[in-house]
Amino acid sequence: MDDYMSLLLLSKGLLFEIALVIFIFGVLLRLFEIFSLGRKKDLSEPKANPTIIGIKTIFTRSIPSYEMMTKRGFLIVNGIIFHVGLFIVVFLLAPHITVIDRLIDLSWSPLSSQIINFATVVTIFSMIVILVHRFTHPVMKALTTSGDYVAWIVTFLPIISGYMAYNHLLLPYNLILALHILSVDLLLIVLPFSKLSHSFTFFMARYYSGTISGRKGVQL
Amino acid sequence: MSNATLEKGINSFVKMIDAPIASFFSSCVSCGMCADACLFYQETGDVKYTPIAKLEPLRRAWEQEYTLFGRLKKLLGLSKKITNEELKQHTELVYNSCTMCARCSMVCPVGNDIAYMIRKMREGMAAGGFAPAGLIGASNRAVEIGSPMGLTLHALSAQIKHAEKATGITINLDKSDVEYMVLLSSMELINFPEYLEAIAKIFKQAGKTWTISSTAFEATNSGIQIGSSDIARILVKRIVDSAEKLKVKTVISPECGHAFTAIRYEGPNLIGRKYNFEVKHILEVLDSFNEAGLLPTEGLEKEKLTFHDPCSLARKGGVIDEPRRLLKKVSDNFTEMTDHGARNWCCGGGGGASAIEEGEPLRLKAFKTKQKQIEETEATTLVTACANCRIVLEEGVEHYNMDMPIVGLTELLAEHLVDKPKQKLKKEAKQ
Amino acid sequence: MQKLNATLMDELNRRGISRRSFLQYCVVLASTMGLSPVMANQLPEKLLNTKRQSVIWLSFQECTGCAEAITRADKLTLENLIFNFISLDYQHTLMAASGSAAEEAKHNAIEKNKGKYILIVDGSIPIKDGGVYSTVAGETNLDILKRDAKDAMAIVSLGSCAAFGGLPQAQPNPTGAVSVDEIIKDKPIINIPGCPPIPNIITGVLAHVLTFGIPTLDQYKRPVAFYGSSVHDNCYRRPFYDKGMFATNFDDEAARSGWCLYKLGCKGPMTHNACAVEKWNGGVSFPIQSGHGCIGCSEKDFWDSGGFYESMASPVVSAETISMAAVAGVGVGVAATALNKIKKAKSLKNSEPVTIKDLKQEEA
């Protein structure tokens, strides 16, 4: 029986619930795992306020240096495009805001669907570019593990299925919407335990890094 | 006597991993930008020198011991064990081809401080018996003789006598209740004895009291380089004990990068308490003299100068503006390298790398980046403020036939020092 | 009395409807049916020469809304013409005869038109407990359907109940209600879902069957001409959706200004129907135009597809679940913390101070 509606209901019902539970559970677990390892109090006399520079570094590290732009400008620009695109698609599409509103009672104004649609195309393109780059750049190729591909796939699926759903491509809307939500469920489950954990640990990494150099009065 | 074992090494990894390291490993997205900041990858193009890849054993230790899935994998026997063989291979990666210069830490988009992790990984490498022979020898000499190069008090005394003769200034050993305790690096004492003379002249001119401790004159710390906090602690303790015994206000680190960070930033954490004195790099002290008008100089350098920032001083020490203020006192023809200050390129011999004999060919290869940066400035004299950098730079300059003198900033200043009576100085300062 | 073998042309003449208005109707009909130009040209001729078609209409678990929708026209329209033209031999709500006379009429019609009559079904079929929850003349719906379908040319499942099980099938489905196509597998079935379906679609589909046979159907057996695009695709509020302009309340300025009702639970994007094109009550309006979101009545399981006022992608997650996950996360997190701390303490305990004598491994 081709019961797409049941699949949709399952994907946004029980499966979403399970995925969300694993997501919240996983993020908390990972945070506990990290914080439990502690950090010795630094007894040396600080040259500047490490906390302030730590917090500043969370933001300043988003700005690439001239040197890195000349060496890896392609990757950096593509990376910025991808992350901005992803942010727009995930957080500024009206149906997504509705979901967030439903979950945590917070909402904001959406962008127009045409802009989102364009951002999606750009994001998809940047993801394909990064995949090719991963295959071809010698350092990235050497560093890449199966975990990097898992991260790529679980990120790509919701974007491509979302694009297909919005544009009513190939599959019946109920089915493609169900697949879209299913892929989101998968993303939620995988995120805390994969390379995608950088989405919530990079704040910490940048902060720690900032405090280490900040203690010496250096803002890197 | 107990030997180093793999188990001890792994145990040390597990011990060293803290929240920052866990957050760093959790954040890496394998972009490989750290490689582009690394002088060893830059000049060899060999992907094994990618900084984050050097940490793979430490990463696995973290994953297997401190994460849910890692534990499960280990329980099911699915995780890749850390082996003797693997760590032996990592000796070259963690020591020879890493100067802990922290350029990679500076460019990582997620903010991973890779140099911080290398420092911690070396703890396990040292405990496991994977440290290179050069650094083991240096550590032995540092602990047993008092200096990594085997320099004894006797040799120091000879140097002091020589300096006293050259300057006509008396240098007091172990004089208590003075303002400053000056530390030296044995490298400096052997290769650049002019430093001691420069210090004597400058301090006399500034009217500051100072001394050298006979029990702790050596500033360098092989324990930090080899990655053993236990050894590093012994060496720092010597300095702290002497400084507190002599009741000095400030301990001055010589022109040596890692010595400065070892005493200034790692020291208190090694001994587990704050000091009763301040630690300053000699350039910080000179800059404060200058600000107080106690460093009168005359004449300008004829040569075109450029300045090599020692990584430990600039990026890892925060002493960046001081050398520039001091340089401009004696030169109006000073050019910066393309990457300078906190963004400088390492000479290739930091973090103990210069003590590893077998690493020399790689070191010289990696020097090319620095060479390019120096040549672009078209400077004729290279100034720096670290004896180790200075030697490595000299090797490089010689290897590439660059024909360029390299001088220490302190000596350069001493050469331009004006011998003025104190009264007159004070008057000038008031105006 | 109408003659049984009369054509539609005879009927037109009888009613005094001009050929011009018939042709106009055909143009409209052809376009709603999505006919190709060639077929559209053939349509008037085909329609005019169509013989009266025997139709048997079975009503099972239903509310009579479907029948109401098609019969409750306020004036005689050409759409109704088709409906009036067919020979409706059995419809137990509408027919004059009753009791055994009615059943006999049906029996006769079936016998006379074996293999040629169209069976219209509205309402779902309860199959739980032998189908006892709905009977006509002492016979279960299940038995009636099986028997009457046997000699039908085609079956039209009218309304969401017959097409998909509809309201009776909504959870917990006490009567075990199922759709027609879950019982009848060997006959052509056309689903015309909707609660109720749009009258124009019913006549349009009947016209198609009379002239060109079974229309092209999608995977839900719905005529593609009417169910091929979503309500959202043709909605006049669509530009507001595209611009990200949404009403957040039924009586806010945005709602009055015609902004998109997605956030108020409109199911237009997932609902395949022609409401936005055909509209209701002679083309006056349709639900979204009157200010209420589409409830997706023509979709499978629409009743169980989340609240009418919940936007369609909205997850169904309770605050309890979220807090439960948080509690579990904190709980396991605390356990992980303990494990990590123990591990770290153990490594500290196991570590011996490294002296300069301990820097080498024993030579093998």
Report the alpha-carbon distance of residue C283 to residue C286 in Å, rounded: 8
> Is B309's Cβ below 8 Å from some Cβ in A?
no
- Determine whether the interchain pair B27/A71 forms a contact, defined as Cβ–Cβ distance below 8 Å: no
What architecture (CATH level 2) is domain B6-131?
Orthogonal Bundle (1.10)
Averaged pLDDT, B118-139: 93
Q: Do B127 and C354 lie within an 8 Å CB cutoff?
A: yes
pLDDT band with cut points at 50, 70 and 90 for residue B276: very high
Of all residues in chain C, the percent with pLDDT exceeding 90 is 31
User: How near does any CA of chain C get to the CA of A64, in Å?
Assistant: 33
Q: Is A91 on the interface with C (CB under 8 A)?
A: no
Chains A, C: CB contacts within 8 A come to 135
The mean pLDDT of B116-122, rounded to a whole number, is: 95
Say if the Cβ atoms of A202 and B18 lie within 8 Å.
no
State the virtual CA torsion across C84, C86, C90, C91 in degrees, nearest 10. -40
How large is the average pLDDT for residues C39-56?
84
Tell me the average pLDDT of chain B: 90
Q: Do A13 and C316 touch (CB under 8 A)?
A: yes
Identify the three-state secondary structure at position C138: coil
Whether C263 and A98 have beta carbons less than 8 Å apart is answered as yes
Q: Where are the domains of chain B?
A: 6-131, 144-291, 305-415
Q: Which of these ranges, B108-122, B230-244, C176-190, C278-292, has the smallest mean pLDDT?
A: C278-292
pLDDT tier, C201 (very low <50, low <70, confident <90, very high otherwise): confident
**Taking CB atoms and an 8 Å limit, are A44 and B268 in contact across chains?**
yes
pLDDT at A1: 33
CA-nearest residue to A7 within chain C is C305
What average pLDDT does the segment C267-283 reach?
86
Confidence of residue C284 (pLDDT cuts 50, 70, 90): confident
Interchain pair C340, A29: CB under 8 A: no
Q: What mean pLDDT, rounded, does chain C reach?
A: 85
The verdict on C42 touching A (C-beta cutoff 8 Å) is no
Please indicate whether, in this complex, the C-beta atoms of B14 and C343 are within 8 angstroms of each other: yes
pLDDT tens-place string over residues A176-209: 888 999 999 999 999 999 999 999 999 999 999 9
What are chain B's partners, defined as 3 or more CB pairs within 8 angstroms?
A, C
Share above pLDDT 90 across residues of chain A, in percent, rounded to a whole number: 66
Q: Would you place residue A81 in the very low, low, confident or very high pLDDT band (cuts 50, 70, 90)? A: very high
Predicted pLDDT of residue B29: 93
d(CA B233, CA B126): 15
Q: Which of B26, B33, B267 sits opposite A30 (nearest CB)?
A: B26
- Which residues numbered 271-290 in B keep a CB inside 8 Å of some CB on A? 272-274, 278-279
Q: With a cut of 70, say whether residue B46 has pLDDT above it.
A: yes
Taking contacts as CB-CB distances below 8 angstroms, the residues of chain A near B17 are 37
Comparing alpha-carbon positions, the chain B residue that sits nearest to A72 is B33
To the nearest whole Å, the CA of C337 is away from the closest chain B CA by 9
Q: In the predicted model, what is the mean pLDDT of residues B248-263? A: 93
Test mutation, B13, B29, B264, chain A, max A CBs within 10 A: B29
Question: A118 in contact with C at a CB cutoff of 8 Å?
Answer: no
CB contact (8 A) between residue C233 and residue A28: no
Give which of B1, B3, B16 to mutate to test C binding, by max C Cβ within 10 Å. Answer: B3
Confidence of residue C189 (pLDDT cuts 50, 70, 90): very high
pLDDT of residue B212: 93
User: Which has the higher per-residue pLDDT, A51 or C212?
Assistant: A51
Task: Flag whether pLDDT at C78 surpasses 60.
Answer: no
CB contact under 8 A, B14 and C354: no
From B287, B281, B285, select the one nearest B314 (Cα to Cα): B281
Residue C353 CB neighbour total at 10 angstroms? 13
Q: Count residue pairs from A and B with Cβ separation < 8 A.
A: 181
**Most confident by average pLDDT, A95-109, B304-318, C221-235:** B304-318
Q: Is the pLDDT assigned to residue A76 strictly greater than 80?
A: yes
The answer to whether B27 and B112 have CB atoms below 8 angstroms apart is yes
B324-338, C152-166, C237-251: range with lowest mean pLDDT: C237-251
Interface of A with C in 24-63 (CB under 8 A): 24-29, 31-33, 35-38
Residue range B131-155, pLDDT digits in tens: 999 999 999 998 888 888 888 888 8
The whole-number pLDDT of residue B395 equals 92
**Paired strand residues for B305:** B334, B381
Of B269-283, C58-72, C112-126, minimum mean pLDDT range: C58-72
> Is some CB atom of chain B closer than 8 A to the CB atom of A193?
yes
Does the pLDDT at position C1 exceed 50?
Answer: no
pLDDT of residue B421: 58
What is the mean predicted confidence (pLDDT) over C231-250? 86
Measured CA to CA, the distance from residue C18 to residue C23 in angstroms comes to 9
Could you tell me the fold of the domain covering B144-291?
Answer: Glutathione S-transferase Yfyf (Class Pi); Chain A, domain 2 (1.20.1050)
Q: What is the pLDDT of residue A2?
A: 44
Under 8 Å between Cβ of A6 and C301: yes
- Say whether residue A180 is in contact with chain B using an 8 A CB cutoff: no
User: Which value does ipTM take for this structure?
Assistant: 0.93
pLDDT computed for residue C53 by the predictor: 85
Q: Are C90 and C54 in contact (CB under 8 A)?
A: no
Give me the percent of chain B exceeding a pLDDT of 70.
97
Looking at CA atoms only, how far is residue B153 from chain C in angstroms?
21
Band (C42; pLDDT cuts 50, 70, 90):
confident
Whether B214 has a pLDDT exceeding 80, the answer reads yes
Least confident of A51-60, B32-41, B280-289, C337-346: C337-346
Residue C40: its pLDDT value, please?
83
Q: Which pLDDT tens digit goes with each residue over B65-105?
A: 999 999 999 999 998 999 999 999 999 999 999 999 999 99
Q: List Cα–Cα distances, B316 to A212, B309, B327, B356, C294, in angstroms.
A: 9, 11, 21, 22, 64
Q: Using a CB-CB distance cutoff of 8 angstroms, which residues of chain B are in contact with residue C352?
A: 2, 8
Q: How far is CA C12 from the centre of its chain?
A: 33
pLDDT band at B420 (very low <50, low <70, confident <90, very high): low
pLDDT over 50 (residue A48): yes
In percent, the amount of chain C with pLDDT more than 70 equals 93
What is the C-alpha end-to-end distance of chain A, expressed in Å? 60
Please identify, in words, the CATH class of the domain defined by B305-415.
alpha beta
Interchain proximity C360–B4, CB inside 8 Å: yes
User: Which among A37, A58, A76, A139 is the top mutation candidate for probing chain B, defined by the most B β-carbons within 10 Å of its own β-carbon?
Assistant: A139
Give the pLDDT score at B190.
81
Type of residue found at C132:
V
Tens-place pLDDT, residues A10-43 = 888 788 888 888 898 899 999 999 999 989 999 9
Distance, C-alpha C167 to centroid of its chain: 11
Check if the beta carbon of residue B416 is closer than 8 Å to that of residue B299: yes
Q: Is the pLDDT of residue B422 over 90?
A: no
Six-digit token string for A124: 């998809």
pLDDT in tens, C298-340: 988 888 877 888 877 677 666 777 788 788 888 888 888 888 8
Q: What is the predicted pLDDT for the residue at B415?
A: 87
> What is the structure's pLDDT at A60?
93
The pLDDT of B393-418, averaged and rounded, is 90
Q: Is the pLDDT of residue C79 over 80?
A: no
What's the CA gap between C51 and C210, in Å, rounded?
8
Kindly determine whether residue C315 and residue A173, on different chains, have CB atoms separated by under 8 Å.
no
pLDDT value at residue A99: 83
Residue B428 has pLDDT above 90, yes or no: no
What per-residue confidence (pLDDT) applies to B44?
93
Taking the C-alpha atoms of residue B418 and residue B414, their distance in angstroms, rounded to an integer, is 9
Cβ-defined contact of C324 to A21 (cutoff 8 Å): yes
Q: A28–C326: do the CB atoms touch at under 8 Å?
A: yes
* Closest partner CB to B269 (pick from A30, A43, A47): A43
Give the pLDDT confidence score for residue C35 in this predicted structure.
80
- Could you tell me how many CB contacts below 8 A there are between chain B and chain C? 69
- Which has more pLDDT, A32 or A4? A32
Q: Which of A96, A114, A168 sits opposite C242 (nearest CB)?
A: A114
